[in-house]
């Protein structure tokens, strides 16, 4: 199994500023992902964080707005840039780790972001 921590757990930010969210995994995971969960909605995949190279972004998400780093197998950051109230959301880090039979996906506790 894998234990994933995120910080900050929550933040209130002003419009136009940027926030970097950190994700730390206690063991090596094969893949790391960043999700967003807007109020009342399900999880939406933002991007796959690739170790040592640029992240792979899903449709509707771009690197300039959500730069991601993954310098090693157990750490990643997501920056929400030039924030607007529409970016208010929970941001979740996730890691894929080998399980008993195949693999399992673990989630961090999330970062609740409010943009005013």
Partner 1 sequence: EDKVVQSPLSLVVHEGDTVTLNCSYEVTNFRSLLWYKQEKKAPTFLFMLTSSGIEKKSGRLSSILDKKELFSILNITATQTGDSAVYLCAVDRNTGNQFYFGTGTSLTVIP
Q: For residues 1 and 82, which CB has a smaller minimum distance to partner 1 in the complex?
A: 1
Q: Least distance from C-beta 74 to partner 1, angstroms? A: 18
Question: Would you state the structure tokens that stand for residue 62, as one six-digit string?
Answer: 């771009």
Contacts of 98 (CB under 8 A, 6+ apart): 30, 104
Q: For residues 25 and 108, which CB has a smaller minimum distance to partner 1 in the complex?
A: 108
Q: For residues 63 and 82, which CB has a smaller minimum distance to partner 1 in the complex?
A: 63
Q: Least distance from C-beta 27 to partner 1, angstroms? A: 15
CB atoms within 10 A of CB 10: 11
Chain residues that interact with partner 1, rule: CB under 8 A:
31, 33, 41-45, 48, 56, 58, 90, 92, 99, 101-110, 112
Rounded CA separation 97/57 (Å):
21
Question: How far is residue 100 from each of residues 4, 29, 33, 97, 103, measured CA to CA in Å?
Answer: 19, 14, 21, 10, 7
Contact predicate 63/57, CB 8 Å: yes
Q: Least distance from C-beta 114 to partner 1, angstroms? A: 14
Q: Least distance from C-beta 104 to partner 1, angstroms? A: 5
Q: For residues 62 and 82, which CB has a smaller minimum distance to partner 1 in the complex?
A: 62
């Amino acid at each position: 199994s894998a234990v994933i921590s995120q910080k900050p757990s929550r933040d209130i930010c002003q419009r136009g500023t940027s926030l970097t969210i950190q994700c730390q995994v206690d063991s090596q995971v094969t893949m790391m992902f960043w999700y967003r969960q807007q109020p009342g909605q399900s999880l939406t995949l933002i991007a796959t964080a690739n170790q040592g190279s640029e992240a792979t972004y899903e449709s509707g998400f771009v690197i300039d707005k959500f730069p991601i780093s993954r310098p090693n197998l157990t750490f990643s950051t997501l920056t929400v840039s030039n924030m607007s109230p529409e970016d208010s959301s929970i941001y979740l880090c996730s890691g894929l780790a080998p399980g008993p039979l195949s693999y399992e996906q673990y989630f961090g506790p999330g970062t609740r972001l409010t943009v005013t």
